[in-house]
Amino acid sequence: MNKKYQDLLSPYTFSKGMELKNRIIMAPMTNFSSNPDGTVTDAEVDYYARRSKGVSMVITACTYVTPNGKGFHGEFGGDSDEMIPSLKKLAKGIKDQGAKAVLQIFHGGRMCPPKLVPNGEIVSASDIPAERGGVSTEEPDVKPRALTESEVEEIIHAFGESTRRAIEAGFDGVEIHGANGYLIQQFFSPHSNRREDQFGGSLEKRLTFPLAVVDAVKNAVEKHAESPFIIGYRFSPEEPETPGLTMEDTLVLIDTLADKGLDYLHVSLTEFFSKPRRGVADLNKTRIEYLLEAINNRVPLIGVGSIYTAENAHKAFAAGVPLLALGRELIIDPDWVQKVAEGKDDEIITKLNKDKQEQLVIPDPLWNVIINTPGWFPGV
């Protein structure tokens, strides 16, 4: 191994005592490959197993915690005890290859396609349509319905119940998906949350739902987990909308979460070294720099964002994050970690080979999305 990269493959131990064999994690990525009833397919398990040998931890694609939170075609469910055998199959597929398995739990809110949720009714913090990337941008007549207070409480409870199922299925942790414009972020954002009750209004009140979800998950772990079970929280630092989340808002969120006893925070970025668009004094500092300052070593931060080569990873790691997640690159080259470990980092593949779907063990639904989305993956 090139000594320059040895820190990337050094072990890391969470505060609860769970040890990772190295600092490289598989990022959560939607794969569109589950059965229509929400159970995991064999192709999906094979896809994860192929990528679980080198990395220390795999964070799965998101699973919905209630039927009206299903955000994607081919998404697997965590909304009922009937799903536990399916989740168990997924956890085992990952863990048998030597990686820790973390289940990402979520609710899509106003981003859910109506055809995937009961009665075609999409819900959110308020009845504000999404401006980008959501159902309401594709179907302008579709407006989300604001959740009632009792419905909000039911969803909070559902996050705890899905955590219990993850424990029973043999996962090593859960990641709360508070990023990418889904329901938890919808409650935090001034764009999507115009409520005037306990769950909306001031920035502090807009934090109520995300923090209640954290508490529900923590309570489930305390009640049901017998061995160390970690909890992470993923967040997006900014939104382009006005009003929308600013870097300043997110630094308040991060400062609050850093004191919640979580095991890690996970930023969602397309580019690791990206810079803020607004809300802070110095727009030339990277978002990662701001986040690390706000966290001040209270909780580990997982960095991510277009890291393809070992050199990319080395530079990102040098920025001060203790853990790095690779997403698209592990789809392109599942043997990334092994190549670094064997000193073959010059053999790392950074562009998708469109003739090697079978060797890369990529399920047909995911492959079709990748091939038909030019510019998403290098080489496509």
Angular region, 316: left φ>0, alpha ψ -120 to 50, beta rest: alpha
Cα–Cα distance measured from residue 302 to residue 313, given in angstroms and rounded to the nearest whole number: 12
Q: Do residues 324 and 23 touch, judged by C-beta distance below 8 A? A: yes
Count CB atoms within 10 A of the CB of residue 298: 16
For the cut 80, the answer to whether the pLDDT of residue 131 exceeds it is yes
DSSP state of 96: T
DSSP state of 115: G
pLDDT (mean) for 132-145: 76
pLDDT (mean) for 223-252: 97
Binned at pLDDT 50, 70 and 90, residue 102 comes out as very high
The pLDDT score that the predictor gives to residue 67 is 98
The pLDDT score that the predictor gives to residue 137 is 61
For the cut 90, the answer to whether the pLDDT of residue 314 exceeds it is yes
List Cβ neighbours of 10 (8 Å cut-off, separation of 6 or more).
Answer: 22, 23
Q: Do residues 87 and 166 touch, judged by C-beta distance below 8 A? A: yes
- Amino acid symbol at 224: H
The distance from CA 240 to its chain's CA centroid, rounded to whole angstroms, is 20
- Amino acid symbol at 217: V
Lowest-confidence segment of 140-149, 229-238, 304-313 by average pLDDT:
140-149
In 148-300, which ranges are continuous DSSP H helix? Answer: 149-168, 183-188, 203-206, 208-224, 247-257, 287-295
For the cut 90, the answer to whether the pLDDT of residue 122 exceeds it is yes
Among 47, 48, 64, 182, the active-site one is 182
Average pLDDT, the chain: 97
In the structure encoding, which two tokens stand for residue 342, read together? Answer: 């064997």
Q: Do residues 114 and 101 touch, judged by C-beta distance below 8 A? A: no
E strand or H helix that includes residue 145: strand 145-146
The pLDDT score that the predictor gives to residue 136 is 61
Give the number of residues written for the chain: 380
pLDDT, tens digit (0-9, with 9 covering 90-100), for 152-164: 999 999 999 999 9
For the cut 90, the answer to whether the pLDDT of residue 139 exceeds it is no
Q: What are phi and psi of 326, to 5 degrees?
A: -110, 135
The sign of the dihedral angle between the CA atoms of 272, 274, 278, 280 is positive
Coil, helix or strand for 58? strand
pLDDT (mean) for 51-59: 98
Cα–Cα distance measured from residue 76 to residue 31, given in angstroms and rounded to the nearest whole number: 10
Cα–Cα distance measured from residue 333 to residue 183, given in angstroms and rounded to the nearest whole number: 32
Angular region, 240: left φ>0, alpha ψ -120 to 50, beta rest: alpha
The distance from CA 137 to its chain's CA centroid, rounded to whole angstroms, is 23
pLDDT, tens digit (0-9, with 9 covering 90-100), for 154-193: 999 999 999 999 999 999 999 999 999 999 999 999 999 9
Q: Report the first-to-last Cα separation within the chain, whole angstroms.
A: 31
For the cut 90, the answer to whether the pLDDT of residue 247 exceeds it is yes
For the cut 70, the answer to whether the pLDDT of residue 255 exceeds it is yes
Coil, helix or strand for 136? helix
Binned at pLDDT 50, 70 and 90, residue 43 comes out as very high
Cα–Cα distance measured from residue 193 to residue 123, given in angstroms and rounded to the nearest whole number: 12
DSSP state of 125: S
For the cut 70, the answer to whether the pLDDT of residue 111 exceeds it is yes
Cα–Cα distance measured from residue 272 to residue 306, given in angstroms and rounded to the nearest whole number: 7
Catalytic residue list contains 182: yes
Cα–Cα distance measured from residue 354 to residue 367, given in angstroms and rounded to the nearest whole number: 9
Architecture (CATH level 2) of domain 3-371: Alpha-Beta Barrel (3.20)
Coil, helix or strand for 234? strand
